[in-house]
Amino acid sequence: MTENPRARLSDIAEQAGVSEATVSRVLNDRPGVSSTTRQAVLTALDVLGYERPLRLRGRSGLVGLVVPELENPIFPVFAQVMETLLAQQGYTPVLCTQTPGGVTEDEYVDLLLDRGVAGIIFVSGLHADSTADVSRYSALVERGLPIVLVNGYAPGVDAPFISDDDAAAMDLAVAHLTSMGHRRIGLAVGPRRFVPVVRKRAAFIAAMTRLTGIDEAEAEGLVSHSLFAVEGGQAAAHHLLSLGVTAIVCGSDLMALGAIRTVRQRGLRTPEDVSVVGYDDSRLIAFTDPPLTTVRQAVSAMGTAAVQALVDAINGTPAPRDEFVFRPELVVRSSTGPAPG
């Protein structure tokens, strides 16, 4: 950019065919300029290669939506809910999906900033990884870009967080199983570094000690960490079944499907021999064999809250910088039943 503001104003004014005073009003986002004239000035900025002021970058109407991957069916549901709501608000969502060895979250953010997005929603991003450097989010906030972070919490980041209540999810699952006589219950979850996993683990141990009477050390021994995938559920279930569990609570529906596969490979039945509870209630889970009992994330409510928080911030009325926690719902189907014997 030129070091002479007056020369820059005159260049933009000449390109747009308006006065320098009009250019100044547009750049300072002041009233009294028609939408046609305002757009002409913004177009002149783009044509001449000048960066739009931060306050005007939302004029593009683009909003970034960054999700970790689409193999887990819960993420396409989050994306669809948010894309629909953003479109209804007049914004065009730009979906950024990560894949192993592909474009990273930071690289996507750079691409979105280059396109002048009005804001970004992150779903289960690096903010959910307790080992990640979250200063990347603080840097976005400091440059004036509205962001919202879903399912993960990073203390010190001045932005709205939208989360499912992981503690309530474990309470619901364990209470359901103990009500049917189960006492030896295992938990199959993802890697320890993720915030939702840390919360689920702690809540599971607390629920087990409260509802079954076992001590904390024994409850900790009934937790198996693996991958958030069908194969991860299989591996965790092999370990937990060797400990004699009669029920398994899983950190995702995909893990639950893997657990059921392992139960069958061992010549056992679900739920007659081993009950299995999933987490998410992603699409088609009601049609698995057997239909999966699971803890349903409040995806619609969470997506609505995330979009509204972002749009409010874009419009100059940001939501409180806090974590908004949504209570999940237990959906009982056919993968759980009375404890054997």
Q: Do residues 188 and 242 lie in contact, with contact meaning Cβ atoms separated by under 8 Å?
A: no
Q: Do 340 and 273 contact (CB within 8 A), yes or no?
A: yes
- pLDDT score, position 33: 74
Q: Can you tell me the distance from the alpha carbon of 60 to that of 282, in angstroms, rounded to the nearest whole number?
A: 33
Phi, psi of 98 (to 5 degrees): -90, 150
Strand-pair partners of 163: 325
């609505």: which residue's tokens?
304
- Asked if the model's pLDDT at residue 2 lies above 70, the reply is no
* DSSP code for 327: -
- Residue 25 φ/ψ, nearest 5 degrees: -65, -40
Global confidence as pTM: 0.83
pLDDT over threshold 90, residue 300: yes
Question: Which has the higher per-residue pLDDT, 254 or 44?
Answer: 254
Structure tokens at 162: 């939208």
Q: Which residues contact 289 (CB under 8 A, 6 or more apart)?
A: none
Share of the chain above pLDDT 90, in %: 73
* Residue 231 pLDDT > 80: yes
Q: Give domain 166-297's CATH architecture.
A: 3-Layer(aba) Sandwich (3.40)
Cα 316 to the chain's mean position, in Å? Answer: 24
* Position 283 pLDDT exceeds 60: yes
Pick the closest to residue 82 from 307, 299, 325, 309 (CA basis): 307
**Where in the chain are the domains?**
5-51, 61-164+299-326, 166-297
In angstroms, the Cα distances linking 38 to 28, 115, 213, 314 are 11, 19, 68, 18
Is pLDDT above 60 for 60? no
Same fold, 61-164+299-326 and 166-297: yes
* CB distance 37 to 43 below 8 Å: no
pLDDT given at position 34: 76
**CATH number listed for the domain at residues 61-164+299-326:** 3.40.50.2300
> Any idea what DSSP says for residue 244?
T
The candidate with the shortest Cα–Cα distance to 116, out of 59, 67, 65, 38, is 59
Instruction: Please give the structure tokens belonging to residue 199.
Output: 């919360």
Q: 3-state DSSP call for residue 305?
A: helix
- Asked which of 42-51, 66-75, 136-145 is least confident by mean pLDDT, the reply is 42-51
Out of 3.40.50.2030, 1.10.530.10, 1.10.260.40, 1.10.760.10, the CATH code matching 5-51 is 1.10.260.40
